[in-house]
Amino acid sequence: MLTNNIGIFSRVITKRSSNYLRSNIIHRFNSSSASKPQLSWQEYFKLKKQRNTINLGASVLTGLGGAAITLVSISNIEFDEKPIFGFDPVIVLSSFVILGGGVGYLVGPAIGSSLFKLSNKKALQQFTFRDQQFLSKIKVKRVDPSSQSFSNPVPDYYGEKIYSLKDYKQWLRDCNAFRRKSKEFL
């Protein structure tokens, strides 16, 4: 009777421990799969290009808006033919319009990155993980710019013009050519 109860007790413990192990394995599997990126490199480069396009478009729009706002606010000012800051008033006021457009252009990427984050909420975490991976690869593979010259310029130091795997491979070849040229000519 005692051996029969022990057998039943051991089966219950084994069943419970196997369920615990199974749920633990599933939990670990799910948590580790969430931390690993599901975003392929092609999708990453597509999103990177989309981010840069949105930032550029937002910069152009905010630059034009800043220039327009400055122009409207300056057009309400009455001025006579006296010099402003020792310069002709038309030159000073037009430089203010250009300055307003420049400030607007600099504000554009902040608005563009917000729009990009809003439009790609689902893939944003994976995108930032891939972006960190990409930037660490660029940091390791890029060349030392101290040996650059007019005949041997540094190839895209920050990897800003890389939008595909083909571009990345070409960038690596350019970096190797730069290293080779800098060794041969120095």
First to last CA, the chain: 91
User: What count of other Cβ atoms lies within 10 Å of the Cβ of residue 69?
Assistant: 15
Mean pLDDT over 31-58 rounds to 84
Average pLDDT over all residues of the chain? 83
pLDDT of residue 147: 82
- 25 pLDDT band, cuts 50/70/90, is very low
- Higher model confidence: residue 173 or residue 26? 173
Q: What is the pLDDT of residues 81-138, one digit of tens each?
A: 788 788 888 888 899 999 999 999 999 999 999 999 999 999 999 999 999 999 999 9
User: Could you tell me what percentage of the chain is helix, strand and coil, using 3-state DSSP and rounding each to the nearest 5?
Assistant: 75, 0, 25
